[in-house]
Amino acid sequence: MESCTAALEKYGVGSCGPRGFYGTIDVHLDCEARVAKFLGTPDSILYSYGISTMFSAIPAFCKKGDVIVADAGVHWAIQNGLHLSRSTIVYFKHNDMESLECTLEKITRENKRASKVRRYIVVEAVYQNSGQIAPLDVIIRLKEKFRFRVMLDESNSFGVLGNSGRGLTEHYGVPVEKIDIITASMGHALATDGGFCTGSVRVVDHQRLSSSGYVFSASLPPYLASAAITAIDVLEENPHLITTLRKNIALLCKGLSTIPCLSVVSNPLSPLVYVKLSRSTGSFQGDSRLVETIADHMLKEDCVLVTTSRRSKLDKCTLPAGIKLYVSAAHTESDILRASESLKRVSELVVAE
């Protein structure tokens, strides 16, 4: 809050233009440098809207004729980027490395032009539609075997995974330079807004002229960039936040595991705890109505806010409907217990009806 206030007093609210014209302010450059330093990459680039980061970065690098192999569970912003790229899109089963390997092998074997076009694997670190964590070590092995590039979205893992919050690469001990393009929204662990893409200088410079979300959008308000810098500083100075977060996640998962009508499907380290119905109604629409009813009752009766997997008709994700509970290091033990007890009570009543 102090960082935002100081930035507002110095710069005002808006930046008054895109980065390439009058919208670049020193705090934007400072933020890009801070992100790159924290992750150990050569350079980074800021976007003014978190969701536009991925659907701008993908079309900037992937064009008609290129091949993209994407996880079937990627969120809508990534799907939009895939569509805008006009590339050949092939989906593999959600977080299934055997399916990924078979898909890469099939593309390499059957497509005679495969070796002459750009080829990408697109995955999320922590999947927004399931809370599962991508096995990066296997993905890197397959990437090197079949000579693909990797685009990784760290929106739900940045500031969460790894001993110091540096994300999926730190969690698996994979050198960050093995990932060709990393993107993330800053609206999660950094508690601000906007997004960033980080990687080599060549990757970043290309986007400054070729990425629509960067070129044609007003730049990120300076106070939000200042907040992101401060959030990274807080994270580095307080490593116990990661430990506290993991304890909270474990406590919530323990409480939810006793609910007979719901199943926890997310990874035990995911701050996005995802639960689905143990017994489906038989359709996504039916399941969605049921979990939305549960979420509404929790908010009205217990003042506990959870979100559900609402999807538009354009969303191609086929994963089961469910309820998402977002955990932070700021939650107390009583908060966690209250949420799990509320979900247990309400879900049993709603399902019984």
pLDDT digits over 69-95, tens only?
Answer: 999 999 999 999 999 999 999 999 999
Token digits for 309? 């997997």
Which pLDDT score is estimated for 159? 94
Distance separating alpha carbons of residues 248 and 159, to the nearest angstrom = 15
8-56, pLDDT tens digit by residue? Answer: 999 999 888 898 888 999 999 999 999 999 999 999 999 999 888 998 9
The residues near 277 (Cβ < 8 Å, ≥ 6 apart) are: 261, 262, 263, 287, 290, 291, 320, 321, 322, 351
Please indicate, yes or no, whether residues 127 and 268 belong to a single structural domain of this protein. no
Residues 210 and 287 in one domain: no
For residues 348 and 231, state if they share a domain.
no
Spatial separation of the C-alpha atoms in residues 250 and 272, rounded to whole Å:
12
Task: Give every CB contact of residue 282 below 8 A, 6+ residues apart in sequence.
Answer: none
- pLDDT confidence of residue 313: 81
If you ran DSSP here, which 8-state letter would residue 165 be given? S
Cα atoms in the Cβ-side hemisphere of radius 13 Å centred on 222:
21
Q: How many domains does the chain have?
A: 2
Do the beta carbons of residue 94 and residue 73 sit within 8 Å?
yes
Q: How far apart are CA 159 and CA 244, in angstroms?
A: 13
As a whole number of angstroms, the distance between CA 292 and CA 307 comes to 8
Last-in-domain residue among 237, 267, 296: 237
**85 in Cβ contact with 68 (< 8 Å):** yes
The DSSP line for 277-313 is ESS--SSHHHHHHHHHHHHHHHHHHH----EE----T
Distances in whole angstroms, Cα of residue 179 to Cα of each of 90, 135, 188, 264, 265: 20, 13, 21, 30, 27
Average pLDDT over residues 315-320: 89
Tell me the average pLDDT of the chain: 93
Residues 217 and 291 in one domain: no
Which tens digits make up the pLDDT trace of 193-245?
A: 999 999 999 999 999 999 999 999 999 999 999 999 999 999 999 999 999 99
Give the domain extent around 52.
Answer: 1-237
Beta-carbon count within 10 A of 91 CB: 20
Whether the per-residue pLDDT at 312 is higher than 90: the answer is no
Contact 176, 168 (CB under 8 A): no
The label of the residue with tokens 């299934």 reads 96
Q: β-strands 181-185, 195-199: how paired?
A: antiparallel
Average pLDDT over residues 265-278: 95
Q: What's the whole-number mean pLDDT along residues 272-286?
A: 92
Query: Are 270 and 226 members of one domain?
Result: no
**Measuring CA to CA, how many Å separate 32 from each of 186, 244, 254?**
12, 28, 38
User: Does residue 314 surpass a pLDDT of 90?
Assistant: no
Q: Where a domain ends, among 196, 211, 237?
A: 237
Same domain, 39 and 187: yes
Taking residues 157-170, what's their average pLDDT?
95
Residue 189's closest CA among 163, 224, 157, 216?
A: 157
- What six digits make up the tokens of 62? 């992937």
How much is the pLDDT for 256? 94
120 and 155 belong to one structural domain: yes
Residue 67, CA distances (Å) to 115, 147, 210 in order:
10, 12, 19
Alpha-helical (H) ranges within the chain are 2-11, 26-39, 50-61, 76-85, 97-110, 136-146, 168-172, 201-210, 212-215, 222-237, 240-256, 284-302, 333-352
One domain, residues 114 and 20: yes
Q: What is the pLDDT of residue 57?
A: 95
* End position of a domain, from candidates 174, 206, 237: 237
DSSP state of 193: -
Residue 238 DSSP code = -
Q: For residue 52, what is the domain's CATH number? A: 3.40.640.10
pLDDT at 353: 72
263 and 172 in a common domain: no
CATH label of the domain that carries residue 306: 3.90.1150.170
What is the percent of the chain where pLDDT is above 90? 86
Q: For helices 136-146 and 97-110, give the axis angle rounded to 10 degrees.
A: 10
Band (pLDDT 50/70/90 cuts) for residue 113 is confident
Same domain for 253 and 142?
no
| Helices 222-237 and 26-39: angle between axes, nearest 10 degrees | 30
Q: Does 140 share its domain with 232?
A: yes
Hey, what amino acid is at 322?
G
Backbone angles phi, psi at 181, to 5 degrees: -140, 125
| Same domain, yes or no: 191 and 325 | no
